[in-house]
Amino acid sequence: MAKPKKQAGTLSLGAISKTLTGISGLDEITLGGLPSGRPTLICGEAGSGKTLFSIEFIVKGALDYGEPGVFMAFEEKADELKTNVASLGFDLDQLEREKKIRIDYVHIDRAEIEETGEYDLEGLFIRLGYAIDSIGAKRVVLDTIENLFSGLKNDGILRAEIRRLFQFLKSKGVTAIITGERGGKSLTRQGLEEYVSDCVILLDHRIINQISTRRLRIVKYRGSVHGTNEYPFLIDDEGISVLPVTSLELNKDVSSASISSGVPALDQMLGNRGFYRGSSILVSGTAGTGKTSIAASFANATCLRKEKCLYFAFEESPKQIIRNMDSIGMNLQSHVDDGYLEFYASRPTLYGLEMHLVAIHKAIRKFKPDVVILDPITNLITIGSVSEVKTMLVRLIDFLQVQQITVLFTALTLNTIVSEQTDEGVSSLVDAWVLIRDIENNGERNRGMYIMKSRGMKHSNQIREFIITDNGLDLVDVFLTEDGVLTGSAREARLLLEQTGEIIHEQAISRKDRELIRKRKVLESKIDSLRSEFESAEEELNKVYVEEALKKQIMGDTISKMTDLRRAGISSSDKSRSKKIKK
């Protein structure tokens, strides 16, 4: 029996070569896609998404990777298939015209067929081979080959031929997907997994607590590392998105840059910097403590820095949040208009936890925010157990940190004893934990805020009073007295008291100052009078001396004059005497 022209397979002895599927998330789980040039079995129950999965593989291959594909349908007619996937935006007709894909519907009707004697499925091989060669296909889907068993009676021939078919696909060097219906005991009804030994993917559709979740698991992948968990996946208007549960390693980059929390006083408590970029922050508190306000404030600050913020609201509608925040001086609407802020509101009960996670992932991938806010995570607990919520958040944090996205969760605590608060157990996962609690005192309820932890950052250990004003949020120092922590009006009263005391104190000081000045003046005047007294005494003393000298001189003069008079005339001596006096 002659076979169609063979092509060299892409089997290599080294690392297995892989073909990207283009299905969001799947390539990450499989670390690069499906094994190139080999068949992969996708099995699952009816309605688990096998056909969609495989058609997306073909379409993405044709559109994104330049690999034409053949879709051989045993179940749905080509027209039905085209209509079904048109809702996902796949225009199969167009692709077929461009010779990028080829859809071959294989019709098997038992009523039309009579079997007599020996036969083989060479006709199918030739058809497939012709389809592959006509467009140079690199990808092939057989959906679902098990239908052959319902059309043909001779199981022995069929099994031998299916085994040969997989060999044929390998020899053609095409990356193939074979779908199979889930059987009772084995993975597929006809035990196709026996023939496909390279890669088997199981799709599952489970309903827990009335909420359905689709899951995917790689049962085996020979020659490759792969994620072994069950990964939830979502089918929506853009096709399939698979969600990697957690990255396999804990080696994400970290940033030492920090971003403002939007509350300057809170930044101060955090070493005057704010939160680290790419970190995760938990804001927890009892009802009505302003968690949403802090979250909105953070969002506001982000948008004001011209960065993008994605706000997941699980409790309030976006309009409600915008209105409420407007009342404390934050214009979130303008950020929404500018495209920096996007709300994503959904009721937690809308779908399962995993679906939420997938939806969150998708929204994040699409919007590419710098900051993500989840407000509040507490509501998610209504649709899953604590441990489930925790796993989900671990995955989310993981995903966000890899992307260097800062995330802020808010959580409602019902328990007022701080040490017992676990907040869905995420407190150990987050990098910073801001706690707001009510302080009841003096017939008032006030909000006290403190930082439970902030990894890698010097932070304040003080409780501050958290106040919400018309202009936003602020923190003020609380007063610590012998009566305990003073907040609210008690703090105001205390402040007033201290102010009064200060003024009195200041006055006392100024009175003392004035007295000092007066005393100095008195003493200075005393010094002046003493000095003048001394001067007059000195003058007196001087006068005596001068007089004495004068007297002496005059006496001397008189004596000499007398002597002169005795010798010469009076006239000449008169002149010299008058001169002396003038002097």
Query: Binding to other proteins by residue 130, rule CB under 8 A?
Result: yes
DSSP assignment string, 514-525: HHHHHHHHHHHH
Rounded Cα distance between 492 and 488, Å, is 6
Query: Can you tell me which of 6, 47, 79, 123 binds other proteins, judged by CB under 8 A?
Result: 123
75 is catalytic: yes
Q: Which stretch binds other proteins (CB under 8 A): 104-112, 215-223, 253-261, 570-578?
A: 104-112
From the list 237, 174, 210, 166, the residue with the least C-alpha distance to 383 is 210
Smallest distance from the beta carbon of 364 to other proteins, in angstroms? 45
Q: Please classify residue 402 by burial: count the beta carbons closer than 10 Å to its beta carbon, then call 0-12 exposed, 13-18 middle and 19+ buried.
A: middle
Write down the residue that tokens 């200041």 correspond to.
506
Select 1 or 8, whichever has its Cβ closest to other proteins: 1
Select 190 or 454, whichever has its Cβ closest to other proteins: 190
Query: Can you tell me which of 16, 29, 106, 358 binds other proteins, judged by CB under 8 A?
Result: 106
Q: Which stretch binds other proteins (CB under 8 A): 115-123, 216-224, 385-393, 542-550?
A: 115-123
Smallest distance from the beta carbon of 38 to other proteins, in angstroms? 23
Rounded Cα distance between 575 and 539, Å, is 33
Query: Binding to other proteins by residue 135, rule CB under 8 A?
Result: no
Smallest distance from the beta carbon of 95 to other proteins, in angstroms? 18
CB 158 within 8 A of CB 148: yes
Contacts with other proteins: how many residues (CB under 8 A)? 28
Judged by DSSP in three states, 200 sits in: strand
Judged by DSSP in three states, 536 sits in: helix
Smallest distance from the beta carbon of 135 to other proteins, in angstroms? 13
CB 65 within 8 A of CB 248: no
Sign (positive or negative) of CA dihedral 19, 20, 22, 23: positive
Residues in region 437-466 near other proteins by CB under 8 A:
none
Q: Which stretch binds other proteins (CB under 8 A): 148-156, 221-229, 356-364, 444-452?
A: 148-156
Tokens of 460: 């304040």
Query: Binding to other proteins by residue 534, rule CB under 8 A?
Result: no
From the list 361, 320, 328, the residue with the least C-alpha distance to 472 is 328
Sign (positive or negative) of CA dihedral 111, 116, 118, 124: negative
- The residue annotated as part of the active site, out of 56, 67, 75, 161, is 75
CB 291 within 8 A of CB 409: no
Query: Binding to other proteins by residue 78, rule CB under 8 A?
Result: no
The angle formed by the CA atoms of residues 257, 258 and 259, to the nearest 5 degrees, is 135
Query: Binding to other proteins by residue 126, rule CB under 8 A?
Result: yes
Tokens of 409: 């969760």
Smallest distance from the beta carbon of 125 to other proteins, in angstroms? 8
Smallest distance from the beta carbon of 410 to other proteins, in angstroms? 60
- The residue annotated as part of the active site, out of 45, 96, 307, 315, is 315
Q: Which stretch binds other proteins (CB under 8 A): 103-111, 302-310, 416-424, 539-547?
A: 103-111
Q: At residue 47, what is the residue type?
A: G
Query: Binding to other proteins by residue 97, rule CB under 8 A?
Result: no
Q: How many CB atoms lie within 10 A of CB 267?
A: 19
Q: Which stretch binds other proteins (CB under 8 A): 53-61, 124-132, 378-386, 542-550?
A: 124-132
Smallest distance from the beta carbon of 54 to other proteins, in angstroms? 20
CB 162 within 8 A of CB 125: no
Query: Binding to other proteins by residue 124, rule CB under 8 A?
Result: yes
Rounded Cα distance between 449 and 115, Å, is 82
Tell me 506's DSSP state: H
Beta bridge pairs of residue 19:
34
Tokens of 314: 């699980």
Tokens of 24: 């969001």
Query: Can you tell me which of 31, 63, 88, 108 binds other proteins, judged by CB under 8 A?
Result: 108
Contacts of 393 (CB under 8 A, 6+ apart): 377, 409, 424, 426, 429
Smallest distance from the beta carbon of 2 to other proteins, in angstroms? 4
Tokens of 247: 């990255």
45 is catalytic: no
Query: Binding to other proteins by residue 533, rule CB under 8 A?
Result: no
Residue 112's region, left for phi above 0, alpha for psi from -120 to 50, else beta, is alpha
Query: Can you tell me which of 13, 15, 87, 117 binds other proteins, judged by CB under 8 A?
Result: 117
Smallest distance from the beta carbon of 65 to other proteins, in angstroms? 26
Select 58 or 145, whichever has its Cβ closest to other proteins: 145
Query: Binding to other proteins by residue 129, rule CB under 8 A?
Result: yes
Query: Binding to other proteins by residue 112, rule CB under 8 A?
Result: yes
Q: Which stretch binds other proteins (CB under 8 A): 113-121, 296-304, 454-462, 532-540?
A: 113-121
Residues with catalytic function: 75, 315
Q: Which residues bind other proteins (CB under 8 A)?
A: 1-2, 4, 104, 106-108, 112-124, 126-127, 129-130, 134, 148, 151-152
